[in-house]
Amino acid sequence: MSRAKALVVLVPAALALFAGVAIASSTSVTITTPKEGQTFSKKRVPQLPVTGGVTFAAANQNTSLFYVRRNGCGTSSDNPHLSISTGTDAGSGCGSLINGVVGAGGDADAGAFVDYATADGMPLSLDTSRNVTGTFDIQGFIGPGQAGVMEADVSLEALVDGQGVEIGSVTEMVVLDPTASDNLVDFTITPNAGLDQKDLSGIDLRLHLHGPYAFSGFVATNGLSFVNVPSYTASTHKGVLLSLDDPTFASPIPVAINSAGDGWSVVIPTPAVGKHTLYVQSVQGFDASSVVARHFTVDK
Amino acid sequence: MTKHLIRAALVGAMVTAAALFVATTRAGAEHDGMRHPIYMPNVNNIGNPALQPPPICCLPGSPFAAGVPVPPNMGYYGGHVQVTPKVYLVFWGWGQAGAFDHTTPGAPTDDPDGAAQRMTNFVKAMGGTDWAGVQTQYYETDNGQNVYIQNPTNQFGGAWYDDTNPIHDNVTGLELAQEAQRAVAHFGVTDLHSSQFIIAQPQKYDEEGFNSGAGYCAWHDYTQQQYYPGVQEGISFTNMPYVLNSGTSCGQNSVNTGFYAGRLDGFSIVLGHEIEETVTDPGAEDVINGVNLGGWYDQSAWENGDKCAWVGYTDGITAPSTVPGGLNNITGNDGKKYPVQSLWSNDAAGGTGYCAGAGNDLPG
């Protein structure tokens, strides 16, 4: 299957997902031929070339930075989440660790974890050729008076086509220093290659702290804890939908996009004698252009 | 079939006596103010006395044991069952302004979490599964003949996104019943006996009791004039609030652990509970003018879903699927996984009965 055809196959599903959603678009489309109001003879023009122009946002490699944030602590507004914006968090001070030390070889683990799901910054096109990196800043650590090992299980999950899919996970070992104001847990996750260039609707970062010397403390917010997700500046999934006499695009006609990515074309059988309308729309990931209509007439 | 006939004879003898007893005693309790829908308590309210089924007169209820199967077996109380179930989904007001407080890229604005899609997929996929097949041991008696519940592949009646009739927050049970009646007309349903209507509410407009923290996730009921005045009689319907609002109390992540992977678990667990209770007891234990409309439930009035609700639930410490009869994923007829609770099977455990159908039944 050619790349153009593959894209066209993907597009109807994406269009169906955001049916009814009005969004500002970074992609646009035009119809060059036929001209508005043009008339064709079905006998002399049995095949009708349809062409146009299209623009898409550039899909360059990018890194999406999400801050670990929390608006409240133990209140109804307690909402651990990820945001592309940072600021002062009333929730800094949440996230007590285990309150237990079992010493070397043991594992104080209450099974507790905290999910930080994205509240903004979505959608995102994932680039799995690079690793996810980040840092959790553990503050207020009150240990047993000595340095000890804690384990941080960090996992990243994506929402893809309405389903939860694991991006990757890692367990980082960190030596906690009870005399330090900040203990940094740096993590690196190799992402699931099967998700490369997928358009993600959401991301969840889960942190589970345990280990021989896990004790009380909290995950600092206020910009101190964060995750860097390798991404593209726009979706790499691009397509142009063409429909004859059906503004709902229920059965779009496959079109080819040129190698420069700025034009499209297809040849369709000239339709029956009468007045007709062509509808065209470009899509890029979850983004869609306005629908452009072109009227023409077919006579004998 | 032989097994069915033998058990039918035994159960029939017991139930005939019980039904006579119930019909003559509970009839007097019809207007005692104790009647209410059949609730599905949330995880934190399994033993809440206010949420137990209305008492069957004069028989003491079993002690409650949270999150474990509840014996004894169910009996047949003489009402109808849904022999060829059809489930109609009504997404009331999901497209109305203010129905949700968020959007999700790539998802429709009237279903930003994918809950409506999940429920629709589940209802389409549950037909023909072993889980729904638990029901085929139960029956109704018509003119002396036992007619068994069937498990057809297609039990999906249709879906209606009703954005025409306005919803509001804290809708009442009566308003839900009225919406169910509108759904009957919308779908053109003529066979009410085997049809049920799920009135699913969006995130911000839910039923008053659910919102108040009464402690349930959903309930099902049957329209009768004295309980739903002005509403067509004989409609089996479910109050299906947006259970994600109750988080883990109503099933979120109770089977699948990923934040997104398990976020919608409660929708199929709770919906499945209500659907299958309605299949086996569409009359919702009503006794009208001395006639028992109830189908199958036990002597404490627990239906097949109640008896297995939240079995295996362990606050996420261990997987519920490791417990026989525990919450688990089943494979739908579309090949996809759906988390459900098990259903009470009188046939299980050599006829003693147990929770079954969720893929982790007792051996044998």
Least Cα distance to B39 among B156, B178, B185, B212 occurs for B212
The answer to whether the CB atoms of A164 and B259 lie below 8 A apart is yes
* Structure letter (DSSP) for residue B148: E
Assess contact for A134 and A228: CB atoms under 8 A.
yes
Position B315 scores a pLDDT of 63
pLDDT tens sequence across B181-192: 999 999 999 999
| pLDDT for the residue A148 | 78
User: pLDDT digit string (tens) for A83-136?
Assistant: 999 988 876 667 656 566 677 777 777 667 889 999 999 999 999 999 999 999
Q: Which of B18-32, B141-155, B313-327 has the lowest average pLDDT? A: B18-32
Comparing B107 with B58, which gets the higher pLDDT? Answer: B107
pTM equals: 0.85
Q: Hey, which CATH number is domain A3-57+235-299, 2.60.40.10, 3.40.50.300, 3.65.10.10, 3.40.30.10? A: 2.60.40.10
Distances from the Cα of A114 to the Cα of A87, A89, A95, A155, A176, angstroms: 20, 16, 8, 11, 19
Q: How far apart are CA A271 and CA A255, in angstroms?
A: 17
Poorest-confidence range of A210-224, A283-297, B277-291, B310-324? B310-324
Least confident stretch, A101-110, A146-155, A272-281, B156-165: A101-110
**For the segment A252-261, what is each residue's pLDDT rounded down to a tens digit?**
999 999 999 9
Predicted confidence band at B233 (pLDDT cuts at 50, 70, 90)? very high
Which has the closest alpha carbon to B233: B155, B288, B295? B288
* Angle, vertex CA B208, rays to CA B205 and CA B209, nearest 5: 130
Say what the pLDDT of residue B23 is: 35
pLDDT value, residue B62: 42
Stronger pLDDT, A148 or A62, i.e. the higher one: A62
* Band (B15; pLDDT cuts 50, 70, 90): very low
pLDDT at B50: 85
Confirm if B91 and B200 have CB atoms less than 8 A apart.
yes
Beta bridge partners of B146: B141
Can you give the residue ranges of every domain in chain A? 3-57+235-299, 61-232
Q: Which of B109, B114, B262 sits opposite A20 (nearest CB)?
A: B109
Residue range B293-321, pLDDT digits in tens: 999 999 888 999 999 999 988 765 567 77
Per DSSP, B277 falls in state H
Peptide bond between residue A123 and the one before it cis (omega within 30 degrees of 0): yes
A162/B316 touch (CB, cutoff 8 Å), yes or no: no
Q: Which of A54-63, A278-287, B33-42 has the lowest mean pLDDT?
A: B33-42
Residue A15 — very low, low, confident or very high, per pLDDT cuts 50/70/90? very low
Rounded Cα–Cα distance for residues A291 and A15 (Å): 12
Kindly report the number of other CB atoms within 10 A of residue A222's CB atom.
17
Q: Is B103 on the interface with A (CB under 8 A)?
A: yes
| Range A61-232 classified under CATH 2.60.120 | yes
Specify the amino acid at residue B175: E
The one-letter amino acid at A135: T
Q: Would you call B106 and A17 a contact, using CB atoms and an 8 Å cutoff?
A: yes
Check A157 against B108: CB less than 8 A apart: no
The two tokens of residue B53 are 């089924």
Q: Does A17 contact B261 at a Cβ distance shorter than 8 Å?
A: no
| Cis status, amide bond into B112, omega within 30 of 0 | no
The residues spanned by each domain of chain B are 2-44+75-302
Q: Is B350 on the interface with A (CB under 8 A)?
A: no
Residues A59 and A78: their CA atoms lie apart, in Å, by 35
Residue found under tokens 């939908």: A241
Q: List the beta bridge partners of residue B185.
A: none
Residues of A in contact with B161 (CB under 8 A): none
Query: Is the Cβ of A286 closer than 8 Å to some Cβ of chain B?
Result: yes
pLDDT tens string B68-79: 666 789 999 999
Instruction: Tell the burial category of B132 from Cβ atoms under 10 Å away from its Cβ (0-12, 13-18, 19+).
Output: buried
Q: Which of A223-232, B46-55, B73-82, B134-143 has the lowest mean pLDDT?
A: B46-55
Q: pLDDT band at A25, cuts 50/70/90?
A: low
* Max intra-chain CA distance, chain A: 93
Q: Which of B117, B118, B259 sits opposite A204 (nearest CB)?
A: B259
Question: Burial of B151 by CB count in 10 Å (0-12 exposed, 13-18 middle, 19+ buried)?
Answer: buried
**Residue A180: its pLDDT value, please?**
86
Q: Quick check: do A3-57+235-299 and A61-232 share a fold? A: no
| Half-sphere exposure in the Cβ direction for A174 (13 Å, CA) | 27
- Over residues B248-260, the pLDDT tens digits come to 999 999 999 899 9
User: What percent of chain A is predicted at pLDDT more than 70?
Assistant: 85
Helix (H) or strand (E) holding B170, with range, is none
> What whole-number distance in Å separates Cα of residue B301 and Cα of residue A51?
69
Per-residue model confidence as pLDDT tens digits over A182-223:
889 999 999 999 999 999 999 999 999 888 877 777 888 888
pLDDT at B206 over 70: yes
Q: How far apart are CA B223 and CA B206, in angstroms?
A: 20
